[in-house]
Amino acid sequence: MADSPVLGEYFVIHALENGVQVIGLTRGPETRFHHAEKLDKNEVMVAQFTEHTSAMKIRGKVCIYTKHGVIRNTDSGD
């Protein structure tokens, strides 16, 4: 699995507010939460998809930097 194009894909999550939630979701027949982090304003997390993590759920105001571009979520849902 080391040659998989999914592995090695890093992305950066930059929190624009306190309390941003980053939740990792599992790969496989049943999608489940397997990891959670909470970021405060201006904290940065470098993340990677792995053989166990197929998706991320991110709540809060953030900038996400990927090789495909920048994604900004500046709406906190209020």
Full pLDDT tens readout for the chain, 78 residues: 456 655 667 899 999 999 999 998 887 777 787 889 999 999 999 998 887 778 889 999 999 999 999 999 887 555
SS (H, E, C) the chain: CCCCCCCCCEEEEEECCCCEEEEEEECCCCCCEEEEEEECCCCEEEEECCCCEEEEEEECCEEEEECCEEEEECCCCC
- Give the pTM: 0.79
Q: How far is CA 55 from CA 7, 31, 32, 41, in A?
A: 12, 9, 10, 23
